[in-house]
Structure 1
């Protein structure tokens, strides 16, 4: 019964990872035969500044996008959970960006943020170089990322809220609990399984963000001045636009996987002792 899934996991996850690890130990440009160089690519990563800068950019991007996405997603879910007229329509509206192709969304937002003819500047009545200003380019990318993902997050939080027994909420209200106390003392503790899942998936997604950045920067990830050079974009640039250095790009991918695994393990350890899955 498990064999179809195991075949899929093996062919599309395990085998590609092993191939990437093997390639990270070679010098290969897709044209000539690969030559074994051992750990030289990893030494190159940690001896230069390019990888460290892209890692820092990714951490800043995640620090902006992750808490903002989760906070806004929770607020939207609480609003939708009230069951007001039109909630179904707004639920569909919030989720719609998440199911669209990130590259397409990036292109559309690039048109909207155009400093001369974009609708955003037209509404604001001023000219702002959203994607050319090194000070606001990364926050702009983070904003679009949040806009795309809050529907996904709110969907899971809404399911978590609807799983909370109504009797518990009514009892808390009878005891005088207001909206803020309900949020901090009841909703948040009972939503920890949902928060754990959303935190893990959103964190991994933010570290792998590429399509959206590619569309927003008009196919020039890192523009302007390397301020949007996320790790995934750096891997792409190194592999296909920097002399086809597949060995170095593969080493970056392996380090990226290691970082994601370590931080995911830390999050799992933190939530494992603070999460209750049974409400009975």
Structure 2
């Protein structure tokens, strides 16, 4: 019989944020695959948990090498607990490759839900959270970062990024240059920890603050793009549709393209085309 892979949500800072289920799985798991063994021992001490399972490291540089052994353990019926340093495994942390391999091998994959820097930062940011996207770590180089922000310039959802403290000021400067200095954002530093700090404001204002130096783990939340207000006459709308048709699009696809580009209601675009075709 195959075993079970359990993804454990580790605390972001406060050990008390995890519940009794994680304690129980830590104590009973046959194998504990962890990003950092020192953090495992510290967490076990904080939670007053004694684990008897075999401990193996599972971080980016050994992830591929560890897969065969962990899959063998799962195939033999073992319960494998995967723990990263903080938050949920595989969310910009090691784990995705093991999850995919376990699923493909027919192994049961489950989780002990726990803290997440992404949703925690969203909740305290003060920005809209009804729709959001997570973009992971920003590129290290300024040119690549600006390209990333350019691609996201029209994203309407609130965006969440991870960033290192020593690159934060430059990242905020690039964001302000592309998205605008007044685009609202929140820098969430050391979430749930002793020196937690949430700094809110425009991108340029936050960049100036970060230039003085920032320490700790950073989650950056940036407001989505404001709704575009496009002012076009009916004749201009129809002309845009006809231009799409002249380029080879069908009438239906041409209308869809103009709706997407302008943000105008489909009925408005359709009526403009009908009016332009009427004698």
TM > 0.5 = no
- Give the TM-score range, shorter chain: under 0.3
Higher relative contact order (Cα pairs below 8 Å, separated by 6+ residues): 1
Which has more strand, going by share of residues? Answer: 2
Query: Which structure is higher in helix share?
Result: 1
Larger Rg: 2
